[in-house]
Structure 1
Amino acid sequence: MRGVAAAAGVTVGLVQHHFKTKDGLRVAVEQLVVDYYALAIAAVPDVGTPAEIASRRDESVRRMLETHPSVVNYIRRTVLDPRGSGRLLERLTELSRSEVAKLREAGLASTNRPESTQIIGLMVRQFGTLLLQPMIDEMWGYLTQKGGSSDGKPTLSVTVG
């Protein structure tokens, strides 16, 4: 809480007054992350084929994450830390479930596959790059140091079938 207060330029007492506990602060941060995702998804009109809508939504989320690197860092730490006690992954999965259900009801998403498969596919598409790109960047750095290829640095693209 002290680090948060220092970064915000306020007293620890003010942070404690507003959020009460570290858990309260974490819940507020997680809600902000979920809100960013929801706004990115809502920015895409539900027009076109299911594949076009999914692609535009994925792109909107990608742009949101590019614009908010602190969100990317928070998600990486939270999702990859086995000691994490937060519920961010559950909350983002629930947001995805809700959106998939809406699209299915509107006839804008296939009902030929189980809803759970669509939700997991969506999460893997959006999180795959987010979580694996640092590993690719590290490998690329190592290979270029060792005189590897001078081709452009690769980026990860995840497709779930």
Structure 2
Amino acid sequence: MARPVPAGTARADDITAKARIRNAALELFARDGVEGTSLRAVAAAAGVTVGLIVHHYGTKEALREAVELAIVERFADAIASVPLDSRPAGRIAAARDEAVADMLAASPAIVDYLRRALLDGGGEQGDLVSRLSQLSAQQVHDLRAAGVASTNHTVGEQVLTIMVRQFGRLFLQPLVDRISHEFPEDIDPSRTPPRLTVELALDASRADDRD
């Protein structure tokens, strides 16, 4: 039996039947994979009929695309929550990384979906990775236009750096946590648990360029 959609999955102003279907699909796709999730299971989780899913989305593939577009929108909202004039230029990129990290921490289904999509995906043009790459590229262009981002690297290199920073922690922090649990006697419980920081050095001579 499909689980009900947890509170907090949907945005507070997004509670229509269409949004409930999409959010239920996100939860189930994240847990069981797209192939392992039926429209009947999504309907049960969202409290609607299969016919209503077909009415709004047509096919499961279209529903998957809607889920991924919603994920990209959540990333875009997190990035936009740190305006270019909100802090010193040298802190904008780090603050946006933190905003994305906070969004992901509050959205475990998105984290699980991303892990599945990025590790199991076929890498097709226009997929979730492609859309997030384009979002990062737009961010780079905006930062450059505002005189905030360096131009010592290409846009592609800067996008790679942003995405490795954001997703490196997403994938590897669980490994850090797991290994830490193997040595509880060696880790002071009064200290903050180990937290992974990921950096990408595209060129050793320019490794200090954050963007």
Task: Give me the TM-score of the superposition, normalised by structure 2.
Answer: 0.69
Tell me which residue corresponds to 1:12.
Answer: 50
Paired positions, count:
158
Structure 1 window deviating more from structure 2 (149-158 vs 9-18): it is 149-158
Tell me which residue corresponds to 1:159.
Answer: 199
Structure with the bigger percentage of helix: 1
8 A contact 1:49–1:108 mirrored in 2:
no
8 A contact 2:173–2:196 mirrored in 1:
yes
> Over aligned residues, Cα RMSD in angstroms?
1.9
The answer as to 2:60 corresponding to 1:27 is no
Task: Using the TM superposition, give the Cα deviation of residue 137 of structure 1 relative to its aligned residue in structure 2, in angstroms.
Answer: 2.7
Structure 1 window deviating more from structure 2 (148-157 vs 17-26): it is 148-157
Structure 1 window deviating more from structure 2 (49-58 vs 29-38): it is 49-58
Give the one of 38, 41, 55 matched to 1:3. Answer: 41
8 A contact 1:50–1:110 mirrored in 2:
no
Give the one of 64, 68, 79 matched to 2:103. Answer: 64
Q: Which amino acid aligns with 1:59?
A: E
- Partners in 1 of 2:90 and 2:80 — Cα distance? 16
Q: Which amino acid aligns with 2:96?
A: R
Structure 1 window deviating more from structure 2 (82-91 vs 70-79): it is 82-91
Percent identity between matched residues is: 47
Q: 1:84 to 1:115 in 2, by over 3 A?
A: closer
Tell me which residue corresponds to 2:30.
Answer: none
- Partners in 2 of 1:28 and 1:22 — Cα distance? 10
8 A contact 2:78–2:100 mirrored in 1:
yes
Tell me which residue corresponds to 1:41.
Answer: 79
- Partners in 1 of 2:140 and 2:122 — Cα distance? 29
Task: Using the TM superposition, give the Cα deviation of residue 49 of structure 1 relative to its aligned residue in structure 2, in angstroms.
Answer: 4.1
The answer as to 2:106 corresponding to 1:78 is no
For structure 2, the residue ranges without an aligned partner over 5 or more in a row are 1-38, 201-206
- Partners in 1 of 2:75 and 2:172 — Cα distance? 19
The answer as to 2:137 corresponding to 1:94 is no
Q: Which amino acid aligns with 1:107?
A: G
Task: Give me the TM-score of the superposition, normalised by structure 1.
Answer: 0.88
- Partners in 1 of 2:132 and 2:171 — Cα distance? 15
Q: 1:120 to 1:50 in 2, by over 3 A?
A: farther
For structure 1, the residue ranges without an aligned partner over 5 or more in a row are none
Structure 1 window deviating more from structure 2 (85-94 vs 148-157): it is 148-157
Task: Using the TM superposition, give the Cα deviation of residue 159 of structure 1 relative to its aligned residue in structure 2, in angstroms.
Answer: 2.1
- Partners in 1 of 2:66 and 2:155 — Cα distance? 29
Tell me which residue corresponds to 2:159.
Answer: 119
SS in 2 for 1:151: coil
